[in-house]
Amino acid sequence: MDGSATMHEPFARYYARYLVARRGYRLGAPPQAEALLQHCDYVLTGSAGNRVSIIGIVNCDSADAKSFTASARELVAIAERSVGALSAKAKLAITIYEMGSRALERADKRRLSAYRSRGGRYAIRAIGVDISAKRAWPLPLVGRRFSPAGQMERLLRAPRLSAAELSAPEQAIRLGRPVFTFVLMALLVGIFVAEQAFALGKAGKQAAPTIDTLQVLGGLSFPLAVGQGEWWRLFTAPLLHGDLTHIGFNCLALFLIGNLLEPLIGWRWTAGAFCLSAIAGSLMSLAVNPANFISVGASGGIVGLFATALVVSLRIPAGPFRTRLVSQAIYGLVPALLPFLNAAVSNGKVDYGAHFGGAIGGVTVGFVLLGLWPGRLPRPRLSNLAAMVAVLFFAVAAGACLPIQENYRRRAQLAPDLSVSTPAPAVLNTLIRTYPHDPRLRYMRAQNLLRGKDIHGAETDLRAALAEPALIVDVGGSDFENRVRAVLAAVLRSRGESKEAAAVVAPACAAEKSGPVADYLNELALCR
């Protein structure tokens, strides 16, 4: 049969062939339901997990006034016999379709309604199909789109598939290789290697970069992304990782889902789904995490791929591939989302906010794909638009190398792993020779010099600390600056330079109204 021939065959026959080719059904009925063969033109059986579905199709146009002839009681008996032969957990659905060109009368609807029945493990329904009007009955008030009658109406209105398309139901599933998946894995590993090469401070266990390293190289936090306007961190944080375990598990999860999803929807939509989910994860992370939380990792984008796969599976014919895709998606989503559902906030080192945001993004992309993927196409439409989204994502991440380079140059001037307590004088002097622009070191040495009555040396170090405004932002901001100003003002006043002391301390007096610095200012009456 060529492509044009399907346009002229009876719809009942076309629908039976469609179920076999695109929904994984097989012709025939189990022995307990063979009685249906006497009342239907076509009987098909399908299964997915613990659910078994039997569909009976009656071609009402093959004879005048033809209809389904079994009684409702006979249909219930068939269902009960069939359920008895299934496993204890299995459930059965029997659907009878009456298809014809005549309009459905009220009497037809009453007769079909009588077949509706439900038992503990089975459900029976009968649907009338008016082929001429492209209408099916009954349509539920809720969930019309996903009901059998709603799906039947969409199939009636859609162009018929060709014989070639019906004979190769899984051709689209087998095409292509997960190229983007492997490229993304290589990119993530390469960036993790760069985290080690450009580390600020000594790495921890499992090559864990320091917080300073992650922050400088593009980690996400509210004060940086929103407070300082570094919005590009929404794009860079999903490409960083916290240690070997973190990147190892993410790459494994990416391989498992990418190996299934990318051959199905293509590399462009896989890349687009990852990037959109990663951004959604970054936004949710900002919304739910504490301000001092540094978020990194591709988990948001990967969880989004699992969610996209789960939604897209609605379009895949029942069979081993669909079962594998759904199972993989559920295995990835449950551990990623369950802690968030319990706590609704990030806990410890795992950013469940990013996971949940990525899942929302992935579900959204999945439903968009369903709308852009007619049954006659092997891939979703607008794949070039998805590729443009991915190109834009990685272009912004690459462009962020400029501010990252500036941040790194600035932070490299600060001593790493600096404890709160003041180092010994000899160690402190060595650190200052190595990091002469670190305002913290200058402030610490000034305190030592004041205890040794070296007023001139202390003033020199305090002025040197205030001479690095860009670095002051990184080491404590205005709080640290005001502390330095207060001490310098006290030094100047002790030397009789009251006017200059007042000018130096004025910003601190205006900003500090309570707290240790304010107490120090009040104690020495520096603001009067």
Q: Could you read off the pLDDT of 274-333 as tens digits, one per residue?
A: 999 999 999 999 998 888 889 999 999 999 999 999 999 888 776 678 888 898 999 888
d(CA 496, CA 405): 44
Which tens digits make up the pLDDT trace of 7-16? 778 999 999 9
Note the pLDDT of residue 422: 73
End-to-end CA distance of the chain: 99
Which tens digits make up the pLDDT trace of 394-408? 999 999 999 999 888
Nearest to 177 by CA among 314, 270, 309, 273: 270
Say which DSSP state 228 is in.
S
d(CA 13, CA 8): 10
Q: Strand 91-100 and strand 51-59: pairing?
A: parallel
d(CA 276, CA 446): 50
Nearest to 15 by CA among 172, 129, 115, 103: 129
Note the pLDDT of residue 6: 58
**Do 369 and 269 form a contact (C-beta atoms < 8 A)?**
yes
d(CA 249, CA 256): 11
Tell me phi and psi for residue 149, to 5 degrees: -65, -40
d(CA 220, CA 214): 9
d(CA 310, CA 322): 9
Say which DSSP state 221 is in.
-
Ramachandran class of 24: left when φ > 0, alpha when ψ lies in -120 to 50, beta otherwise: left
408 burial (CB, 10 Å; 0-12 / 13-18 / 19+) is middle
What is the residue type of 141?
Answer: L
Mean pLDDT of 50-72: 90
Note the pLDDT of residue 384: 92
How many of the other CB atoms lie within 10 Å of CB of 238? 32
Question: How distant, in Å, are the alpha carbons of 77, 92, 115, 516 from that of 71?
Answer: 10, 19, 8, 88
Is this structure's pTM higher than 0.75? no
Residue with tokens 């007096």: 509
Q: Please determine, for residue 336, whether its predicted confidence score (pLDDT) is greater than 80.
A: yes
Which tens digits make up the pLDDT trace of 483-499? 888 888 888 888 888 88
Residue with tokens 């600020």: 200
Q: Which residues pair with 27 in a beta bridge?
A: 44
**Do 383 and 392 form a contact (C-beta atoms < 8 A)?**
no
Tokens of 52: 């078994």
What is the residue type of 521?
Answer: L
d(CA 351, CA 486): 40
Peptide bond into 403 cis (omega under 30): no
**Do 365 and 280 form a contact (C-beta atoms < 8 A)?**
no
Task: Quote the mean pLDDT of the chain.
Answer: 86
Query: What are the helix (H) ranges across 400-451?
Result: 401-411, 425-434, 439-451
Note the pLDDT of residue 419: 66
d(CA 8, CA 6): 5
Say which DSSP state 373 is in.
-
Kindly report which listed range (95-104, 411-420, 501-510) carries the lowest average pLDDT score: 411-420
Residue with tokens 């789904």: 273
Q: Provide the angle, in degrees to the nearest 10, between the axes of the packed helices 299-312 and 244-265.
A: 30
Nearest to 466 by CA among 485, 493, 451, 486: 485
Which tens digits make up the pLDDT trace of 465-474? 888 888 887 7
Nearest to 486 by CA among 514, 519, 457: 519
Say which DSSP state 7 is in.
G
Tokens of 18: 């469609």
Q: Please determine, for residue 174, whether its predicted confidence score (pLDDT) is greater than 80.
A: no
Note the pLDDT of residue 344: 40
Q: Which residues pair with 53 in a beta bridge?
A: 46, 93
In the chain, the percentage of residues whose pLDDT exceeds 70 is 92
Note the pLDDT of residue 339: 67
d(CA 8, CA 163): 12
**Do 68 and 40 form a contact (C-beta atoms < 8 A)?**
yes
Nearest to 259 by CA among 198, 188, 210, 324: 324
- Buried residues in 154-163 as b, exposed as e (16+ CB within 10 A): ebbeeebbbb
Q: Please determine, for residue 383, whether its predicted confidence score (pLDDT) is greater than 60.
A: yes
What is the residue type of 337?
Answer: L
**Do 483 and 517 form a contact (C-beta atoms < 8 A)?**
yes
2 band by pLDDT with thresholds 50, 70 and 90 = very low
Note the pLDDT of residue 3: 44
